[in-house]
Amino acid sequence: MIRLVFRHLGAEIKGLLRVPGFLIPTLVFPSMFFLLFAAPYLKTPEAANQTTAGFMTFAFFTVVFFQFGVGLAQERENPWSTYVRTLPLAPWVRPLAFLGAGLCFALAAAGVVAVVAALATPIAPERASVPGLLAALVLGAVPHGLFGIALANRTSAKAALPIANLVYLLLAFLGGLWMPPEVLPDWARTISP
Amino acid sequence: MGILSGLLHPDRGEARLFGEDPHDWRARLRLGVTPQASGFPPTLRVVEILELVRAHYPNPAPVAALLERFGLLPLARRYAERLSEGEKRRLALALAFAGNPALAILDEPTAGLDVESRRRLWEEIAAFCKEDKSVLLTTHHLEEAERLADRVAILHRGRLLAVGTVAEIKARIGLKRVAFRARQLPELPGVARAERSGDRHTLYTADADRLVRALVEAGVAFYELEVQPLPLEEAFLLLTREESA
């Protein structure tokens, strides 16, 4: 059964890698935002560290949120997933593969941000903080995943994408992932963490 | 079909697949199902989809043989989204047989197939059944059922109208139409359905000879007698109409 999880994971990743419309927004957009809006203003290693971590978080959560919100909504309406349920496989195999594929792309998206930051900013990561960041990414992804599932259960596949965009960009802004909460407008600062 | 392939729960009663609950994946190890042809992962290749499905079975059919049997050899490297409707249908059928199942469930297998592919599928099904394996298929074509099936079940509006061998079904719906004019009719044998307008009677029966003999023996003064065979399709319609009336 574990072998089948990897089979489905592999098929999912292979299929998505061939869709530029998925790959580019996922892997390129967060780094592009970072390069355009953040990198030029990061003069000190401390600022670079903090903002890079913020954008990595943004990239990671984006993939998780969209994979669950939009991906699941599409998956539910997809005749292929109905067919897969008739195959002899335990019911948890496909959700696990789905989750795995989401994590792989989320890590890749965060990785691209890290690489861009290393090239374009005076970032000076402390080795000891890396595991902590990764743990925060994965743990923080849980509510985003659940949030995505909630969205997927309430919307059709077509509506899920625009709604997810709207909700997500607003949340990222309010959460201070792009700009530190201190520089946000007053009304936003009161609800930002 | 949905219940047998583990997708739905029955409203009432119980379904068993090889004696087990179809919702248990182990029961489905010997089952093959056709997917809806519209839904393949668009960016996977034909051969990748076949490999993925084969991986679920302990003793799957070889890929090369599957490609050959369903006319997919020249399409093996093609993305699913680039397949024509007929090609998708053939891939869907290949998937039902990919795991070397003991039972293949095919939903309208020849819908959307060209004549040659349909012939090949019929041969494929016949060969499959010779190996002591079973196919459960749905069709709207009585001709197809007659050609392929050992047992036929006729469903109409969710109710089972008739089950039996092809010969039994044909005996049931292989009706003749006996029309004539007469004033009064006695009780007559083997009449499946009777219509009357004025003194014009139309009777449907499986055994027209016996009916006419009975008319003569009863001394009915009938005239303008006509006996016509009823095509299967029409007989089938008659059965279903009777049921819903």
Report yes or no: B140 at the A interface, CB cutoff 8 Å. no
Report yes or no: A6 at the B interface, CB cutoff 8 Å. no
Answer yes or no: is pLDDT of A133 > 90. no
Whether B56 sits inside 8 A of A89 (CB atoms) is yes
Using CB atoms, which residue from B7, B25, B41 is nearest to A82? Answer: B7
Q: Is the CATH code 3.80.10.10 the one for domain B25-149? A: no
Whether A88 sits inside 8 A of B31 (CB atoms) is yes
Cβ-based contacts of B55 with chain A (< 8 Å): 3-4, 7
Query: For position B104, what pLDDT does the model report?
Result: 94
Using CB atoms, which residue from A11, A87, A91 is nearest to B44? Answer: A11
Residue A5 confidence class, pLDDT cut points 50, 70, 90:
very high
Closest approach of chain A CAs to the CA of B145, in angstroms?
A: 25
Helix axes B166-173, B232-244, angle to 10 degrees: 70
Using CB atoms, which residue from B33, B35, B99 is nearest to A80? Answer: B35
Comparing A138 with B181, which gets the higher pLDDT? Answer: B181
Residue A192 confidence class, pLDDT cut points 50, 70, 90:
low
pTM: 0.77
Residue A69 confidence class, pLDDT cut points 50, 70, 90:
confident
Query: For position B94, what pLDDT does the model report?
Result: 93
Report yes or no: B38 at the A interface, CB cutoff 8 Å. yes
- Give the whole-angstrom CA distance, residue A65 versus residue A175: 15
Answer yes or no: is pLDDT of A179 > 80. no
Task: State the average pLDDT for chain A.
Answer: 83
Query: For position B132, what pLDDT does the model report?
Result: 85
**According to the per-residue pLDDT averaged within each range, which of A58-67, A151-160, A182-191, B211-220 is highest?**
B211-220
What is the total count of domains within chain A?
A: 1
Counting as low any pLDDT under 50, the low residues of chain B are none
Whether B39 sits inside 8 A of A86 (CB atoms) is no
Cβ-based contacts of B91 with chain A (< 8 Å): none
Note which residues in 91-110 of chain A have CB less than 8 A from chain B: 91
Report yes or no: B230 at the A interface, CB cutoff 8 Å. no
Comparing A133 with B244, which gets the higher pLDDT? Answer: A133
Q: Using H for helix, E for strand and C for coil, what is the string for chain A?
A: CHHHHHHHHHHHHHHHHCCHHHHHHHHHHHHHHHHHHHHHHCCCHHHHHHHHHHHHHHHHHHHHHHHHHHHHHHHHHCHHHHHHCCCCCCCCHHHHHHHHHHHHHHHHHHHHHHHHHHHHCCCCCCCCHHHHHHHHHHHHHHHHHHHHHHHHHHCCHHHHHHHHHHHHHHHHHHCCCCCCHHHCCHHHHHHCC
Helix %, strand %, coil % of chain B (to 5): 40, 20, 40
Whether B48 sits inside 8 A of A14 (CB atoms) is yes
Answer yes or no: is pLDDT of A39 > 60. yes
Cβ-based contacts of A4 with chain B (< 8 Å): 55-56
Write out the residue limits of the CATH 3.40.50.300 domain(s) in chain B: 25-149
Find the range with the poorest average confidence among A23-27, A176-180, B145-149, B173-177: A176-180
Whether B43 sits inside 8 A of A86 (CB atoms) is no
Closest approach of chain A CAs to the CA of B147, in angstroms?
A: 28
Query: For position B232, what pLDDT does the model report?
Result: 60
Q: Note down the domain range covering A60.
A: 2-191
